[in-house]
Amino acid sequence: MGELRTTGEHPPWEGLAGTDRHAACVIAARTGDRRALDVLVAELTPLVWHVARGHGLDRATAEDVVQTVWLAFLRHIDRLHEPRALVGWLVVATRREARRTWTPAKRETGLTDELADHLESTHGLPEDAALVDDRDIRLWRAFGRLSQRCQELLRLTVLAGRAEYRTVAEALAIPRGSIGPTRGRCLTTLRTHLDAEGGSR
C-alpha cells in the first residue's frame, strides 16, 4: 500500500452503512486515502476493544492488542481478498492476539474493571459515577456471569449490528441462522442472572 494521503474528493463511502461502508473504506485505504482509514479505526475500534476485553485482558493489555490488530490490518490490507469481510477478519485477528497475550497476571480484575469502563464512557467525570443507578451495577454483574461465548456474541451483535451477522457467525464459527436464537438464549440467561442480582428496577 502506498503512503496514506488525504484528498478533498467526495468520499466513496459517504451515504453507505455497515458492510458496504467498511468495504468502500478498505478499497479507498488501499489507494492511500487516510480519511478511509480514519473512518475504519473510529467505527470499528470499539468492536476490536470489546473482543479483546471479552477474553479477560486488563485494560492496558487490551489497548496493546487493539493497536497490534490495526497495525496488522495495515500490513495485510492488500491481501484482504474480500473487503466486505473486514469485521470478521478483525474479530479473528483480535481473538488470536488476545489469546497469544493472555496470562493470569494480565487478567482483568472482574466487575470493577469492566464497570469502570462503562461508567467512564457513560458518565465522563469520575465524580459523576457516584450518581449511576445501581441497576447498571447489577446488569454488569449479571453480564459477567454469562459464559465467555455468550458475552462475546452479545458484544459482537450489538456493536457490529445485524448487517454483520454473517461475519460474526464466521468469526465465532457458528451457523449464521443460529445467531438470532443463540443471542435470544443468552439474553434469557442474562435476565435470569439479573433477577438473581435483585431485578432490573
Amino acid at 127: E
pLDDT exceeds cutoff 60 at 121: no
Cα–Cα–Cα angle for 10, 12, 18, rounded to 5 degrees = 135
Q: 197 burial class (0-12, 13-18, 19+ CB within 10 angstroms)?
A: middle
CA atoms within 13 A on the CB side of 33: 19
Tell me what the pLDDT averaged over the chain comes to. 78
pTM score above 0.85? no
Q: With bands split at pLDDT 50, 70 and 90, how would you rate the model's confidence at 133? A: low
Give the residue among 199, 194, 198 at the shortest CA–CA distance from 143.
194
Q: Report the alpha-carbon distance of residue 173 to residue 82 in Å, rounded.
A: 18
Average pLDDT of the residues in 164-190: 82
Amino acid at 73: F
Q: With bands split at pLDDT 50, 70 and 90, how would you rate the model's confidence at 77? A: very high
